[in-house]
């Protein structure tokens, strides 16, 4: 007897797991399959560049759910498998082991991969990136035996790795091709703060540094060479120059893609039976055309997409938020600061304990908080409720932000 069409979730990361959990919570009681290419059950990814590298957490501690969870909720978890194709006309998914799964609905949660470094020597031993648990384990082992670490790319992942390596006592250099750090994800104001933070901890931060070659010795990386003639000795090189959304499966299936799988605020693609969530997507909705890489985005899109598969309208329109831990600083960002015309600072910048409020035409766009978690939590409420906070109120330390959230 042929299997009954079920829900098939492709990708067993945070977003994919959330789709599966939400489908059950929304009342779907039919077959439900969650497929992941990695051998592990779904796990938390933020610790990979933080607690996993320091040894403060291990593989068991980053698991999102215990194995018994899947059986209890009737979720068939298939790991170490790849989806070969989606036949939209026949509504079937073909797996790499030859199995065929008929479907009523599909959720794509295929994530993203690190952008490769396009220079000679990138294949040398000791050149690493960080996206998966296996990557983190390799990097942790490499850092243990290293003296000099070069991080290529001054984004959040690169800076978090640099902070961990420096705390381990390694000599660390960050090479960023742009004229500032965090060029794709934060304001110049915040970038300057983090450049100062890393330099204060002894990291060499080299901006405008275009890497042209990795030198090797006996098959292992020995130095990073830049276009200005610079040569930076290295035992370990960490590449963090952005990601490529894993949208190939969707594109091969005829789903609309444009720098990612195109979805709306409910996670719907242009096929009513297929949704997509997380890092593989680009979203067209309340914030315009947007690609977000965050746990919140994966989780909230997962809830919306599960509802959409069941014919329900539950758009994800909350202000996006994100966090990063570096040294003794916890950065929490809420909102999107692009296009701001005014910055107001509240707190103590010299102590790296402050919040920067970004406004455009007097309207609040975003808040960056360093070691001020209360500001961040209130900021999420302020933005979601479109509260009328003025720059003058934000700047006044005596003004109670909470009064606008009640």
Q: Do residues 170 and 257 both lie within one domain?
A: no
Q: Does 314 map to a domain?
A: no
Query: Crossing angle for the helix pair 156-167 and 133-144, nearest 10 degrees?
Result: 40
Domain count, the chain: 3
Assigned token pair, 402: 């909470």
Q: Region 187-211: what's the mean pLDDT?
A: 97
Closest CA to 105 of 309, 268, 302, 271: 309
Convert the pLDDT of each residue in 88-147 to its tens digit.
Answer: 999 999 999 999 999 999 999 999 999 999 999 999 999 999 999 999 999 999 999 999
Are 346 and 375 a contacting pair, CB within 8 Å?
yes
- Residue given tokens 């009523």 in the structure block: 104
Q: Do residues 348 and 384 both lie within one domain?
A: yes
Closest CA to 27 of 245, 309, 246, 261: 309
- At residue 1, does pLDDT exceed 50? no
pLDDT reported for residue 285: 67
Of 190, 217, 241, the residue at which a domain comes to its end is 241
Beta strand 321-326 with 329-335 is antiparallel
Percentage above 70 pLDDT, the chain: 99
Say which DSSP state 145 is in.
T
For 115, 180, 190, 297, 353, the CA distances from 322, given in Å and listed in that order, are 21, 20, 14, 9, 17
pLDDT reported for residue 3: 73
Percentage above 90 pLDDT, the chain: 94
Q: Region 179-201: what's the mean pLDDT?
A: 96
pLDDT reported for residue 284: 80
**Sign of CA pseudo-dihedral 308, 314, 317, 319:** negative
Are 404 and 382 a contacting pair, CB within 8 Å?
yes
Closest CA to 16 of 70, 91, 57: 70
In whole angstroms, what is the distance from residue 345 CA to residue 360 CA?
15
For 37, 65, 279, the CA distances from 62, given in Å and listed in that order, are 18, 9, 19
Sheet arrangement for strand 211-217:
211-217, 220-226, 231-233
Beta strand 243-245 with 112-114 is antiparallel
Of 241, 275, 300, the residue at which a domain comes to its end is 241
Q: Do residues 174 and 136 both lie within one domain?
A: yes
Q: Do residues 266 and 223 both lie within one domain?
A: no
Convert the pLDDT of each residue in 246-290 to its tens digit.
Answer: 999 999 999 999 999 999 999 999 999 999 999 999 988 666 677
CATH number of the domain residue 365 falls in: 3.30.390.30
pLDDT reported for residue 406: 82
Domain that holds residue 287: 6-113+244-309
Whole-number average pLDDT of the chain: 95
Of 226, 241, 256, the residue at which a domain comes to its end is 241
How far apart are the two ends of the chain, measured CA to CA in Å? 57
Q: Do residues 182 and 200 both lie within one domain?
A: yes
Report residue 66: phi and psi, to 5°: -70, 160
Convert the pLDDT of each residue in 228-252 to its tens digit.
Answer: 999 999 999 999 999 999 999 999 9
In whole angstroms, what is the distance from residue 100 CA to residue 74 CA?
19
pLDDT reported for residue 290: 79
């Amino acid at each position: 007897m042929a299997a009954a069409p079920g829900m098939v979730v492709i990708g067993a990361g945070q977003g994919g797991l959330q789709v599966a959990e939400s489908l059950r919570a929304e009342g779907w009681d039919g077959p439900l399959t969650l497929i992941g290419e990695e051998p592990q059950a779904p796990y938390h990814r933020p610790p990979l560049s933080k607690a996993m590298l320091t040894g403060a957490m291990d593989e068991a501690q980053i698991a999102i759910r215990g194995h018994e969870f899947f059986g209890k909720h009737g979720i068939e978890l298939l790991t170490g498998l790849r989806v070969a194709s989606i036949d939209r006309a026949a509504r079937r998914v073909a797996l790499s082991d030859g199995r065929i799964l008929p479907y009523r609905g599909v959720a794509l949660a295929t994530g993203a991969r690190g952008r490769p470094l396009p220079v000679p020597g990138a294949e040398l031993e000791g050149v690493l990136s960080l996206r998966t648990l296996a990557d983190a384990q390799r990097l942790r082992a490499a850092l243990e035996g290293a003296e000099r670490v070069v991080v290529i790319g001054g984004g959040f992942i690169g800076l978090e790795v640099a902070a961990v390596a420096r705390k381990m006592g390694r000599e660390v250099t960050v090479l960023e091709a742009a004229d500032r750090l965090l060029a794709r994800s934060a304001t110049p104001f915040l970038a300057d703060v983090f450049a100062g933070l890393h330099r204060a901890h002894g990291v060499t931060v080299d901006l405008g540094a275009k890497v042209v070659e990795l030198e090797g010795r006996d098959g292992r990386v020995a130095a990073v060479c830049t276009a200005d003639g610079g040569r930076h000795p290295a035992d370990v090189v960490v590449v963090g120059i952005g990601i490529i959304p894993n949208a190939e499966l969707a594109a091969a299936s005829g789903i609309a893609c444009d720098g990612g799988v195109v979805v709306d605020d409910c996670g719907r693609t242009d096929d009513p039976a297929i949704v997509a969530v997380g890092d593989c997507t680009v979203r067209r909705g309340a914030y315009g055309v947007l690609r977000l890489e965050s746990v919140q985005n994966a989780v909230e899109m997962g809830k919306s997409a599960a509802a959409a598969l069941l014919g329900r309208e539950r758009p994800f329109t909350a202000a996006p938020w994100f966090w990063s831990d570096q040294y003794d600083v916890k950065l929490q960002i809420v909102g999107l600061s692009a296009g701001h015309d005014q910055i107001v600072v509240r707190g103590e910048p010299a102590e790296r304990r402050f919040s920067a409020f970004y406004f455009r035409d007097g309207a609040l766009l975003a808040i960056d908080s360093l070691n001020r978690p209360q500001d961040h939590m209130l900021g999420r409420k302020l933005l979601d409720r479109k509260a009328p906070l003025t720059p003058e109120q934000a700047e006044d330390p005596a003004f109670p932000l909470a009064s606008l959230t009640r």
